[in-house]
Amino acid sequence: MHKLEEKIRRAGEQGRSALIPFLTAGFPSRDAFWKALAELDAHGADIIEIGVPFSDPVADGPVVEAASRRVLAEGVTLKEILAGLAARKGQFSAGLVLMGYYNPFLQYGLEKLARDAAEAGVHGFIVPDLPHEEDSPLKTALARHELALIPLVGPNTGRERMALYGPGAMGYVYVVSVMGVTGERKELAATVAETMRRARSVFDLPLALGFGLSRPEQLEDLPEDARPDAVVFGSALLKHLDAGGSAAEFMARWR
C-alpha cells in the first residue's frame, strides 16, 4: 500500500477522517512556514499538501493566489522547497504532497523532479492543470520513484472520465466539492454527496474532499455513505496563519 493511502487508512481505523492541511511554501514567511509545517505535523496532520507557487494559478481562489504571489515576490522557488525538505527529511511523520501547476515542474525537468522529490521525502504530487490526456509524462516519471500523482475529480466528472484516472493511481483521490476554485464556502454544495458516491463506486483508493471547506461541522451535513476518508483545508488555514494565528491552534479545531 502506498504511504499516502496508508496514512488515510490508519485514520479510518481510528474512526476519524484524515486531516490534510494545505500550506503555500514560504507562507506567511520562510521561517514561519517551516515552523507551521512542523506544527501541523505534530498536531494531527495525516498528510500535508505544500503549495508550489506559480504566477498564473487558474484553479485557485483569491486567498491561495495572493499567498502564491507573495512568496514569489520573496523569491521562493521549487528548488529551495525541495532543498528545505531534504534538509528536514525524517522529521515529519505526515505524508508530504507537493501541489502546484505544471509549468514550474516541467521547467525543473520531470525526471529530476521525481528523483529530487523522492530524495526529499515527498510522497506525491497534485497538479491541477494536468488532466488525464496530458498526465502520462509526469505520471511515468513519478511512478519510477513510487511517487503518486493524485487525480482530481469533481461534480462534473462522470463515471467514464473518473475511470480514466484509475489505472496507475496511487495514494488517494482528490474530490473537488464545488464547480469553482479553491476557497472557503459557508455550505457544502448539494451535489457533493452524489459526487462522493460516484467516486466511491469507481475508485478503490481513499477519497479526500477539498475546495471550500472552512470548518469541520460542514461534513456532518453529508450522509454517512458519502463522507470522505480525508478532508483538505487550505484557504482557511492560510488566513489564520496570516492573521498571526498558530498552526497548532488551527489543528485543534479539526481534531
Partner 1 sequence: MKNAYFGEFGGCFVPELLMPPLMEVDEAMRSIMPTKAFREELDDLLRNYAGRPTPLTFCPTLSRELGFDLWLKREDLLHTGAHKINNALGQGLLAKYMGKTRLIAETGAGQHGVATAAAAARLGLECVIYMGAEDVERQSSNVRRMRLLGAQVHPVESGSRTLKDAINETLRVWIATQQSTHYCFGTAAGPHPFPTLVREFQSVIGRETRAALLEKTGRLPQAVVACVGGGSNAIGMFHAFLKDESVRIIGVEAAGSGEPGCLNSASLNLGSPGVLHGNRTLLLQDREGQIEASQSISAGLDYPGVGPEHAWLKSCGRVRYDMVTDARALNAFQRLCRSEGILPALESSHALAWVLDHPQEFSPEGAVVVNLSGRGDKDMDIIQRALALQEV
Concerning whether 49 is annotated as a catalytic residue, the answer is: yes
Minimum CB distance to partner 1, residue 242 (Å): 17
d(C-alpha 105, C-alpha 32), whole Å? 24
If 0-12 CB within 10 Å is exposed, 13-18 middle and 19+ buried, where does residue 131 land?
Answer: middle
Does position 26 bind partner 1 by CB under 8 A?
no
Asked if residues 196 and 207 have their Cβ atoms less than 8 Å apart, the reply is yes
Does position 210 bind partner 1 by CB under 8 A?
no
Cα distances from 84 to residues 75, 117, 168, 242, in angstroms, run 14, 11, 29, 21
DSSP 72: H
Helix (H, G, I), strand (E, B) or coil at 249: helix
* Strand ranges inside the chain, DSSP E: 18-24, 47-51, 95-99, 124-126, 148-149, 152-153, 173-176, 207-210, 230-233
Q: Is 85 or 247 the residue whose CB approaches partner 1 more closely?
A: 85
Query: At residue 245, what are phi and psi to the nearest 5 degrees?
Result: -75, 165
Select which of 5, 39, 46, 60 is catalytic: 60
Among 119, 156, 187, 249, binds partner 1 (CB under 8 A): 156
Does position 107 bind partner 1 by CB under 8 A?
yes
Among 106, 110, 118, 222, binds partner 1 (CB under 8 A): 106
Among 16, 180, 185, 191, binds partner 1 (CB under 8 A): 180
Kindly give, in sequence order, each residue whose CB lies less than 8 Å from that of residue 116, ignoring residues fewer than 6 positions away: 82, 86
Among 36, 47, 63, 78, binds partner 1 (CB under 8 A): 78
Does position 134 bind partner 1 by CB under 8 A?
yes
Q: Is 173 or 247 the residue whose CB approaches partner 1 more closely?
A: 173
Among 69, 70, 185, 240, binds partner 1 (CB under 8 A): 69
Q: Is 88 or 161 the residue whose CB approaches partner 1 more closely?
A: 161
Q: Residues with catalytic annotation?
A: 49, 60
The residues binding partner 1 (CB under 8 A) are 53-59, 61-62, 65-66, 69, 72, 77-79, 102-108, 128-134, 151-158, 161, 176, 178-181
